């Protein structure tokens, strides 16, 4: 067998852009891409990458791979095992057997839907849907999603075989009024999609939470609680 040497080569890469997302903080972001369909998301690019030439033909693709940096994960000593939230936070798995953000090099990969290629002052911005990324996430690269290569319909997905269960979400009148006042398109739908996936840690799933929780979308704090496995949006702090 070939002897394996430890790698001490430092690789330095520069982000090509950043994600503009309604997720103002990590809490409540869906745990994978393509799980929300509302919200205003853009991929924005820095000079010289934002030239229309670099994106010529991209509109022919419906979906893109976004390679990004989990920039909000602190750089720590390598931990070979992680506890995936999907398994309730109690079971350990090898980091490379998971999609955990707590990994060496902090590199993430998400599939997103391309809605529109927009050009403002000769700079490209890609309107997308379905990102699981916090606002200002650095983008390292993007590539078109190619169905016949990337979609393996008989693949085994280990411990992650089904999408999260969706719970019902209700709103108080005051919350509905404030949502309307923001004039953010489809804001109620976005809140419903995000909350319905139960953003609480897995050990709280299935339990009521009489005390109030908050989650930040578009820098607006949304106050909610859980009763009989239903979410109630109580208020918005505008």
* Binding region for ligand SAH (CB under 6 A): 26, 29-33, 70-73, 99, 101, 108-110, 132-134, 137
Q: Which is nearer to ligand SAH, 85 or 182 (CB)?
A: 85
Closest distance of CB 123 from ligand SAH, Å? 22
Q: Which is nearer to ligand SAH, 101 or 164 (CB)?
A: 101
Closest distance of CB 120 from ligand SAH, Å? 24
Closest distance of CB 11 from ligand SAH, Å? 19
> Is 53 exposed, middle or buried (CB count within 10 Å of its CB: 0-12, 13-18, 19+)?
exposed
What letter would DSSP give residue 91? S
Q: Which is nearer to ligand SAH, 109 or 166 (CB)?
A: 109
Closest distance of CB 156 from ligand SAH, Å? 17
Q: Which is nearer to ligand SAH, 134 or 232 (CB)?
A: 134
- 160 in Cβ contact with 183 (< 8 Å): no
* Region for 38 from its dihedrals, namely left if φ exceeds 0, alpha if ψ lies in -120 to 50, beta otherwise: beta
Closest distance of CB 193 from ligand SAH, Å? 13
Q: How many CB atoms lie within 10 A of CB 43?
A: 26
Q: Which is nearer to ligand SAH, 73 or 167 (CB)?
A: 73
Q: How far apart are CA 107 and CA 69, in angstroms?
A: 5
- Burial call 64-84: b when 16+ CB within 10 Å, e when fewer: bbbebbbeeeeeeeeeeebbb
Q: Which is nearer to ligand SAH, 6 or 161 (CB)?
A: 161
Cis amide linkage into residue 38, ω under 30° from 0 = no
Closest distance of CB 82 from ligand SAH, Å? 11
Closest distance of CB 5 from ligand SAH, Å? 28
Alpha helices in the chain (DSSP H): 147-150, 173-182, 187-196
Q: How many CB atoms lie within 10 A of CB 42?
A: 18
Q: Which is nearer to ligand SAH, 29 or 184 (CB)?
A: 29
Q: How far apart are CA 59 and CA 68, in angstroms?
A: 21
């Amino acid at each position: 067998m070939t002897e394996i040497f430890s790698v001490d080569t430092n690789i330095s890469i520069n982000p090509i852009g950043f994600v503009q997302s309604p997720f103002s903080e990590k809490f409540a972001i869906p745990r994978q891409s393509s799980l929300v369909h509302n919200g205003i998301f853009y991929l924005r690019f820095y000079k010289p990458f934002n030239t229309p030439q670099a994106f010529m033909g991209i509109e022919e693709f419906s979906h893109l791979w976004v390679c990004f940096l989990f920039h909000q994960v602190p750089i720590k000593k390598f931990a070979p095992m992680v506890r995936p939230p999907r398994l309730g936070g109690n079971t350990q798995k090898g980091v490379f057997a998971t999609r955990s953000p707590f990994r060496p090099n902090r590199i993430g990969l998400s599939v997103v839907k391309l809605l529109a290629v927009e050009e403002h002052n000769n700079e490209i911005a890609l309107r997308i849907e379905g990102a699981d990324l916090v606002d200002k996430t650095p983008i390292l690269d993007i590539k078109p999603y190619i169905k016949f290569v990337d979609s393996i319909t008989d693949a085994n997905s280990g411990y992650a075989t089904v999408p999260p269960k969706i719970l019902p979400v209700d709103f108080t009148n005051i919350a509905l009024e404030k949502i309307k006042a923001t004039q953010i398109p489809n804001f109620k739908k976005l809140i419903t999609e995000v909350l319905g996936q139960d953003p609480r840690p897995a050990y709280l799933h299935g339990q009521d939470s009489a005390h109030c929780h908050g989650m930040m979308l578009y820098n607006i704090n949304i106050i909610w609680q859980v009763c009989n496995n239903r979410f109630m949006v109580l208020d918005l702090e505008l």
